[in-house]
Structure 1
């Protein structure tokens, strides 16, 4: 009894300690389920003293449960020499009992450039905690204070923006004693525990007990489902340049006047050179294409994070002189070249990346991470240019900037428009295979043509090293044993935005033998369709950002000693999610030639969670039916 009493007292002591500290051996199940890390306590205080005076004070306590949670610590802050200053920064590491492991003062943090290796020069830097844990779980208590003169960016309140992170408590407070008008927008707050206090000039939000989002196949990105509050000032400053705006038209005009105006001048020699280049062009579309390819041939991408907060492009004349620039500089340079020939174009700010993030059409603020170029009125649809690539075709964006809202910055004001969508019909791969079989080997010729997003995924193959090409194709043809690639040929038709590959190769037999019969797999190249497991408790919608169509034909020349005994029936499936068809026939003029045709279309779209079982069944049927076999029997 004495031992039991002592144990109970010890356990009670641990529980009390857990309430007053950050020990992590006793945690709520709803916060640990599906979590790699837990945001125990976050407090973000934003104090707006003036349109050019803001201080952000942060306390962030994260318990990391396993090695996959290390990235959620996020003990870092950005700064630069001219605008943002880190006034305070420290961290404390605790073990699972809440005991101190190590303290870090500001001088102990690592410091490095905040941009990648392609950067030429930049004053943006990051000061971050560099800690390698000896054991899990562990907890990091991070505190910082950063002052800055730029107020055009107000940190949004979004404690969760990825899977496998739960939140015990997160508080966001904006103080605004000078009553500068603010705007804010709330999303996805209905399903969480939230305390809020808002007024015309200040606001406070506290989110509590948000379980981790558990990844489900084909689910939307967490940022589109998690709670968030976005905030902006109507009067603001960007590196000392002040402005006022509450909607996109005036905000875009402010950007044009302060970031772009007067930066598109070119010297007379360059204008004369371009005029000579396009003098025989039939129309403005041809002129624009020539100018784009001219720009690609004489420039290269290098990041240059200077100017007004890194948002102002370097002068077009400077890009012309040195032959390099970042996305802003190269886009502005291309715009200037086009303007010299009377072709109007628009500088377009976008969120780049394959997840299709939008500039929010309903909330004017400084957004985006990339710049592209829009050319109206020279074709049936607007022309779009990615100016940082030396290899992309004219009027092709690919999955880096497709199908999303962007901001056009015009002299008359800003305008939100959408970039082109590559539909499942446009994202087309067509493959034609000729396969000659023997009893113990085969030879084959494969021709594949890629268009739409598939073009962007595949055209780079031609520039890889021979060793990497061989590895790539052996992975694609992984269902075929003993592959030896004999020849590879490529054709990149930029005018048609079409990429063609031809492979000649041989391999060991991929069929099975049963007595005097051959069981021949008819899908020579396996479809790239994920096998999806059953999920009776699906929570999130099904989302396919980009659909595609694959059309394949496999012509099998069977060995002379064999005849065809049995063939599978034709298949045709149509659903909301896409279509699948499969057929096999003997050629009319050759009894030894089997012609297999397969077509797969996966639609882009979004569907409710209760449709997941139908979606899963459709995908799994494609995989199962792609294992169809023909039966060949040996003569005599």
Structure 2
């Protein structure tokens, strides 16, 4: 038999995988301004029953430059109710050739509570890192989650980060016709419509997105989640560990939560007797509530509990009474029980907490919550009053919610079901910063200053954390790092809690040494009195504004600065008064020479809260520019003696 030529063996050798995800296949319009491009995001949600769904994901991202390297790794969480079936991955070079298949040994697994802290959780994370030393490259991940917690359907928002373009993404949901899908489309491109089909007893819904350019986060814009296309999903009927419920209305969802925790608010007799003795001479319900809150803060601590149904079902109040700890649900339920023993009714309320957390979407009943607080309806004379309590903090002021849970909706859990209500609204009247500075100049150009600043409402939230959580040394470092002064020494710092009517406040007292602050130029000295409260201008808009104008917090800043002049100096020129009144807020500043020769500068800035169309940004930019100019205005002093 004649030997086959070498060329025949070459033809018979198996070929390697065909290239895919080549960078040249990405349209130039998607590469422009992008750190990475989502080549494919194919997600399939299969609802098996009221108590089970399967979520499969295939995701490929081309990383174009080092700024997009975070997309080169992926993490998937799972727990007792959500099983991770598999996690696979691969990485390709810029030409689309396979570089590496993810090996099981390269997949890391850790518990969310492994780092310590106040956690009781069965949540774990499996993650893989396929980042490469050189760009471009493409990572591909596939995984599947089988969930026995149908309270949460996965949401779909492929364009999840700044600098990420989307080439193609699809979402397909299949569900029994007896369990119709509830969904809400958000920010979808014009013309995008859901494709809905029925086959036998199954209904399928499908969405598709293509060719979305990268988005830059603009100044004073809403969070990215409120800007890019998304589809939110939610069940009608659901079941978690045998507990059936409905998300069709806020009332039904609240009823499920209430029934799940019914009967868990019973106190040990000794605790109930202790409360009765504590409030026996209290003149009204508010005083009773305050005493109960003091008892709570002095005898409990917070831990996070995320163990299966424990994410929604509370520890019994008797358990908290015995152990002294609990999560937000348990501590709120315990406080509710303490108040009941004092004769004061209250309701646990679910809320989406966080300083940057957007308000829930009231028109889409679903589980949009991550925290529980307590609502205490009161009556003050003939008018209703409502007291809100944060039950997880040992330092929070009585009746104050602040940035964490204020200015948003919450869901009251009542025997009649859920009731959507508003938490306290904190506006410019509550969120105040009042500052008085005395600036003492010397003839050589140096200065010393004392500054007393009262912050109330949301303006004090951060400083209350500094006061309670940091040592004096750490407080000083924080303040020094943020003082926008060229040369200074912090000679004094004191933070102290205070009460400003019904609101908490923090008083900050500073002492400053300012060498070379106002060096004379000939016979004149030029001084900018606004030492600590300058509001910077915003950068000019590049290109056409895309996002709405979003002003998340209302505030009122009032400043008084007194310049104490050295002997032989007088004010020669004072800046003109400035008065601005706009839809975004008001600003006023004026200068005066007092009878003793002291120069006084008074500034008042009130900023409003709200969301306005993108066309409003240009005028807001101008408002900020004028404030910045006024804040830099200079007083001219003249030396009158040689």
- TM normalised by structure 1 equals 0.92
The equivalent residue for 2:270 is: 269
Name the residue aligned to 1:511.
518
Q: In the TM superposition, what is the alpha-carbon distance from 1:107 to its structure 2 partner? A: 5.0
State the distance in 1 between where 2:97 and 2:403 align.
48
Find 1:566's aligned residue among 549, 566, 573. Answer: 573
Aligned to 2:241: 239
The one-character-per-residue Cα deviations of 1:345-365 (angstroms, maximum 9, x if unpaired) are: 121111111224233222222
Equivalent position SS for 2:311: coil
Query: Structure 1 residues 83 and 531, CA, compared in 2 at 3 Å: closer, same or farther?
Result: closer
Measured in 2, the distance between the counterparts of 1:63 and 1:492 equals 53
Q: Which residue matches 1:297?
A: 298
1:319-334 to structure 2, matched below 5 A, reads 319-334=320-335
Please, which of 369, 394, 397 is the counterpart of residue 398 of structure 2? Answer: 394
**Residue in structure 2 matched with residue 130 of structure 1 by the alignment:** 129
| Mapping of residues 460-539 of structure 1, within 5 Å | 460-463=465-468, 464-479=470-485, 481-486=487-492, 488=494, 490-493=496-499, 496-539=503-546
Q: What number of residue pairs does the alignment pair up? A: 616
Q: 2 CA distance for matches of 1:530 and 1:381?
A: 41
SS at match of 1:559: coil
Match of residue 213 from structure 1: 215
Unaligned regions of 5+ residues in structure 1, if any?
1-16
- Deviation by residue 1:381-407 (Cα, 9 ceiling, x = unmatched): 422121111111011111111212221
Q: Quote how far apart the aligned CAs of 1:325 are.
A: 1.4
Deviations 1:239-276 (A, max 9, x none): 33222342111121112112x11111110111111122
Q: Which residue of 2 aligns with 1:166?
A: 165
**Counterparts of 2:463 and 2:402, CA distance in 1:** 11
Moved more, 433-442 or 237-246: 237-246
1:123-174 superposed Cα distances (whole Å, 9 cap, x missing partner): 1112111344212222111111221222221112221233222211111111
**Would the aligned equivalents of 1:530 and 1:619 in 2 still touch at CA under 8 Å?**
yes
CA contact (8 A) 2:19 2:96 kept: no
Query: Which residue is 1:49 aligned to?
Result: 48
Aligned with residue 613 of structure 2, among 603, 608, 612: 608
Distance 1:142 1:609 in 2: 37
Label 1:528 to 1:372 Cα distance change in 2 as closer, same or farther (>3 A). Answer: farther
Cα gap change, 1:339 to 1:519, in 2 (>3 Å): same
Determine if contact 1:192/1:208 at 8 Å carries over to the other structure.
no
* Alpha-carbon spacing, 1:307–1:297, altered in 2? closer, same or farther (3 Å): farther
Structure 1 stretch 278-287 or stretch 304-313: which is displaced more? Answer: 304-313
Alignment of 1:397-476 (within 5 A): 397-439=401-443, 440-463=445-468, 464-476=470-482
Q: For residue 542 of structure 1, report the CA deviation from its aligned partner.
A: 0.8
SS of 1:269's equivalent in the other structure is helix
Residue number in structure 2 paired with 1:619:
624
The Cα of 1:536 is off from its aligned counterpart by 4.8
Matches within 5 A, 1:24-423: 24-72=23-71, 75-80=74-79, 82-106=80-104, 108-114=106-112, 117-177=116-176, 179-191=178-190, 196-197=195-196, 201-258=203-260, 260-308=261-309, 310-378=311-379, 380-423=384-427
Q: In 2, are the aligned partners of 1:403 and 1:419 still within 8 Å (CA)?
A: yes
2-structure distance, mates of 1:105, 1:564: 75
Cα gap change, 1:555/1:304 in structure 2, threshold over 3 Å: closer, same or farther?
same
Contact 1:35/1:165 (8 A) holds in 2 = yes
Deviation digits for residues 81-133 of structure 1 (CA, Å, limit 9, x no counterpart): x3222222211111222122221244531111235743432211121113442
Contact in 2 for aligned 1:162/1:221 (Cα 8 Å): no
2:554 corresponding residue in structure 1: 547
Q: Provide the C-alpha distance between the structure 1 equivalents of 2:331 and 2:210, rounded to a whole number of angstroms.
A: 45
Cα RMSD of the aligned pairs, angstroms, is 2.3
Contact 1:356/1:402 (8 A) holds in 2: no
Check conservation: 1:459, 1:492, Cα contact below 8 A: no
Aligned to 2:602, the other structure's residue is in SS state strand
Equivalents in 1 of 2:602, 2:405: separation in Å? 33
**Offset from partner CA, 1:356-381 (integer Å, 9 cap, x none):** 42332222222211111111224554
The DSSP-based 3-state class of the residue aligned with 1:436 is strand
- Work out the CA distance in 2 between the residues paired with 1:496 and 1:246: 38
> Aligned partners of 1:99, 1:299: CA distance in 2, in Å?
58
Write the distance in 1 (CA, Å) between the matches of 2:241 and 2:191: 37
Task: Classify 1:127/1:609 alpha carbon distance in 2 versus 1 (closer, same or farther; 3 Å).
Answer: same
**What CA distance in whole angstroms lies between the structure 2 residues aligned with 1:164 and 1:18?**
30
2: CA distance between counterparts of 1:245 and 1:194? 24
TM normalised by structure 2 equals: 0.91
The answer as to whether partners of 1:435 and 1:445 remain within 8 angstroms in 2 is: yes
CA deviation vs aligned residue, 1:437-493 (integer Å, no higher than 9, x gap): 102322222111011100112223334223323223334432252323135352433
The alpha carbon displacement at 1:631 in A equals 1.4
Runs of 4+ residues over 4 Å off in structure 1: 17-20, 192-195
SS in 1 for 2:129: coil
Measured in 2, the distance between the counterparts of 1:210 and 1:369 equals 31
User: How far apart are residue 18 of structure 1 and its match?
Assistant: 14
SS across alignment from 1:202: strand
Task: Label 1:252 to 1:107 Cα distance change in 2 as closer, same or farther (>3 A).
Answer: farther
Contact 1:358–1:406, Cα closer than 8 Å, also in 2: no
Q: What residue is the counterpart of 2:10 in the other structure?
A: none
Say if 1:563 and 1:234 are closer, same or farther in 2 by CA, change over 3 A. Answer: closer
Query: Does the 8 Å contact 1:110/1:130 carry over to 2?
Result: no
SS at match of 1:280: coil
Range with greater deviation from structure 2 (528-537 or 147-156): 528-537
User: Are positions 1:581 and 2:588 aligned together?
Assistant: yes
Distance 1:74 1:279 in 2: 60
Between 570-579 and 112-121, report the one with greater CA deviation. Answer: 112-121
Distance in 2, matches of 1:217 and 1:198, equals 42
* 1:231, distance to aligned residue in structure 2 (A): 2.2
Query: Equivalents in 1 of 2:357, 2:87: separation in Å?
Result: 34
